Structure 1
Amino acid sequence: HAIGDGALDVALKAIKLAGASHVGCRIEHASIARGDQIQAMSACGVKVVVQPRFVVSDWWAVNRIGLKRVSWLYPFRTMMNSGIELGISTDAPIEPLNPWLTVEAATLQEGLWGARESLDVESVLHLYTVGSARALGRLDIGVLEEGFKADFIIVDKDPMVLPTNRVREISVLEAYVGGVRVY
């Protein structure tokens, strides 16, 4: 877990000293990440799992870390575009478990760190599924293809066509784990 840029410096130094890029190192949060840190994460192959819902709940950030450092806050698009293996989670129980609130937060970033780092729904869903599976070191989940476990949900609205400010309205109709209906 490395939330601030200081903690991220420590984590990256430890990964470099351990020569651990090949063992599937993962950093959780990376909430404040400078450009040099993003380059370092990309170069060493570390996986990063971010929690976009913090965009909503960290309203205090400017007062706590200042205007300069707040510009490094939640650089989701920059991380994704830099080639970092990125995943997304809710961070429940700290944040709501509802994944659609996380999708909404990632797509509708507001405030000083704003829209330049927001993601489109397709990217968020990819990072939530494929990206998070890879962050877990799982190559058998995350997509619906032959040879993968059939873990999926059926929802009442299409998140790809629904306005992003309405994805929170999506409800799960059915859930399948390993191809077996569990809900």
Structure 2
Amino acid sequence: CFALRWMADEGVEMAFGSDAPVSPLDPWLSIAAAVHRSGDERPAWHEEQSLTPREALAASTDGQGTVGVGSRGDLIVLDADPLAVAGGPEAAAHLRSIRVAATLVDGEVIYDDD
């Protein structure tokens, strides 16, 4: 969307989704595209509309933010910190490389890559 940066600056609560099955069901691709404004290493399209990794991740996590007492029991454990790189094409490449190490639903482990 051309107005991502404007919406973020205005405090609009954003919620990312998917076009699956038309496109891959991979939230990291959407998050990376919002950060770099490109689906790959090509130059950014309207770079001024880029979101930070934190903003893009928040739009994909239902606003949950952190884990604590009373948090929902549906979680993923990642193999890398999605906020380790601040922005731009480097952050997008980092985000696209992240893999899920474990998935918990209702507090029970349903996937573990070990």
TM-score range, shorter chain: 0.7 to 0.9
How many Å separate the matches in 1 of 2:33 and 2:16?
11
How many Å separate the matches in 2 of 1:174 and 1:115?
33
Counterpart among 23, 30, 42 of residue 102 in structure 1: 30
How many Å separate the matches in 2 of 1:95 and 1:103?
14
Q: 3-state DSSP class of the match of 2:62?
A: helix
Counterpart among 32, 38, 54 of residue 122 in structure 1: 54
Deviation of the 1:127 alpha carbon: 1.4
Deviation of the 1:94 alpha carbon: 2.2
Deviation of the 1:116 alpha carbon: 0.9
Aligned to 2:12: 84
Percent of residue pairs bearing the same amino acid type = 31
How many Å separate the matches in 2 of 1:147 and 1:78?
33
What residue ranges of structure 1 are gaps of 5+ in the alignment?
1-30, 32-73, 132-141
CA RMSD of aligned residues (A): 1.6
Deviations 1:135-168 (A, max 9, x none): xxxxxxx342322212111111111114312211
Aligned to 2:78: 155
Question: Runs of 4 or more off by more than 6 Å in structure 1?
Answer: none
Deviation of the 1:97 alpha carbon: 0.7
How many Å separate the matches in 2 of 1:84 and 1:122?
15
Q: 3-state DSSP class of the match of 1:87?
A: coil
Deviation of the 1:100 alpha carbon: 0.9
How many Å separate the matches in 2 of 1:174 and 1:122?
21
How many Å separate the matches in 1 of 2:95 and 2:13?
25
Report the TM-score when normalising by structure 2.
Answer: 0.76
Deviations 1:45-79 (A, max 9, x none): xxxxxxxxxxxxxxxxxxxxxxxxxxxxx211111
Report the TM-score when normalising by structure 1.
Answer: 0.50
Bigger Rg, structure 1 or 2: 1
Name whichever structure is richer in helix by fraction.
Answer: 1
